[in-house]
Structure 1
Amino acid sequence: MEQDLKQETFASEADVGSAEAEERQAQDAAAGNEGVSSADPETGGAEAGEDDPKYAELKRLADEHYQRQLRVQADFDNFRRRTQKEKEELAQYASLKLVTALLPVIDNFGRALQSGGESADAGSFAKGIDMINRQLWQVLEAEGLKLMEPVGQPFDPEVHQAIMQVESDEYEEGTVVEVVQPGYWLKDKVIRPAMVKVSG
């Protein structure tokens, strides 16, 4: 009987100890949660995060960078359109400088033709045409046009077009002896090969 009472007393004390332990655990958990607030952005509280000064500053910087990126993109689009327009205008008016330089030559041709019809002086007319021809060549040479002078030079298929092979006592074989149609350079580029006869 006495032993049964001891066991009951021990069991009651164990139950009390277990209840106290559970209560302490609950208090510790509550105390630990006091430092955690829904306002802490690290816990994922969206509403509280929007009130955080750091969040507001980061949002302002993000908006500023986005607006800057939009402006850069718009500037690039404008630059691309402007460059394309300038390229088209350049192609369209590439000959503007040359044509403008040729206008005085055209004027002189008109005057020469008009005076040639009114005057019977063929010598003066021929002299006027010769002056216009020299004026025309001055304009073209200023633009880089050069007349090929291949007679006496070795035949070069890169710049000459042979249309005939002829016997020649004056030139060695494979030498240009006559120009049938003049060839021209524009600076360093062949724009028309000279049509020539070559000694055989």
Structure 2
Amino acid sequence: MDGKAPALLAGAWPQEVSTLSEEKMTQDPIAEEQAEAADQQESAEVNWEQEAAHWKAQAEEHQNRMLRAMADMDNLRRRVRKEQEDLAKYASQKIVEELLPILDNFERALAADKDSMTLESLLTGVDMVHRQMVQVFEKEGLAAIAAKGQPFDPHVHQAVMQTQDPEFDSGVVVEELQKGYMFKDRVVRPAMVKVNE
């Protein structure tokens, strides 16, 4: 080789390198921006997919909770309905159990020897059964309504007759014709009374 070739190459090479590096420099920012934009787009897509998956999971969890709550509510309704039916069906069981001994006493009296029964023993038996009945009813909340000598009260008394008696003030119950009863705070049957004018 002659001495010109290396000089030629030596002179041309730095120019090509500088041209290439200038091209690279002018192309690199655009490529870098495009690469960054592509990375950001991929990152945004990944973030969006993650966000969508997160909200989908949240929605499924809330739906499952709602379905469980609805099932619990249905079960509660069924249980309450069953309890109410049982309560209505067996509401009188307690009083029936308390009346059974009275029924037993009636059956014993009916089975007793009729020839040896006296009027006195019959009255004693009837009195005993009456006291048992009163105890059962009082225990359950039944009470007789006071009538004779009380001021007439249309809420608890039913006037069926009027009279003029100087011993009583006007509007006072003179006589009770049939007992009235209250069950707890409710009138079961008003007392039938005769009222002074």
Same-fold status (TM-score > 0.5): yes
Picking from 130, 135, 153, the partner of 1:133 is 130
Is 2:185 the partner of 1:188?
yes
Q: Structure 1 residue aligned with 2:80, among 79, 83, 89?
A: 83
Q: CA deviation at 1:188?
A: 2.0
- How many residues get paired? 169
User: So what's the TM-score if we normalise by structure 2?
Assistant: 0.75
Over the aligned positions, Cα root-mean-square deviation in angstroms equals 2.6
Give a deviation string over 1:14-48, Cα, whole Å, max 9, x none: xxxxxxxxxx9xx859935751466444xxx5x98
- Matched-pair contact (CA < 8 Å) for 1:116–1:125: no
Structure-2 separation of matches of 1:116 and 1:150: 41
Which of 31, 34, 52 aligns to 2:33? It is 31
Q: Map 1:33-112; keep pairs closer than 5 Å.
A: 34-36=36-38, 39-41=42-44, 49-50=48-49, 52=50, 54-112=51-109
* Residue type at the aligned position of 1:167: Q
* Alpha-carbon shift at residue 89 of structure 1 (Å): 1.6
In the alignment, structure 1 segments of 5+ residues that lack a partner are 1-23
State the distance in 2 between where 1:75 and 1:90 align. Answer: 22
Cross-structure match for 1:197 = 194
Distance 1:131 1:191, change over 3 A: same
Deviation of 1:118 (Å):
5.1
Higher relative contact order (CA 8 A, sep 6+): 2
* 2:147 matches 1:146: no
Letter of the structure 2 residue corresponding to residue 150 of structure 1: A
- In 2: Cα distance, 1:49 partner to 1:135 partner: 82
Match of 1:6 in 2: none
User: Structure 1 stretch 123-132 or stretch 61-70: which is displaced more?
Assistant: 61-70
Distance, in Å, in 1 between the alignment partners of 2:163 and 2:144 is: 23
Correspondence for 1:178: 175
* Matched residue SS, 1:61: helix
Structure 2, unmatched stretches of 5+, are 1-25
Q: Does 1:121 align with 2:113?
A: no
3-state secondary structure, aligned to 1:62: helix
| Percent of aligned pairs sharing the same letter | 47
Higher mean C-alpha deviation, range 126-135 or range 31-40: 31-40
Q: Quote the Cα distance in structure 2 between the aligned partners of 1:166 and 1:77.
A: 63
Cα separation, 2, equivalents of 1:118 and 1:84: 55
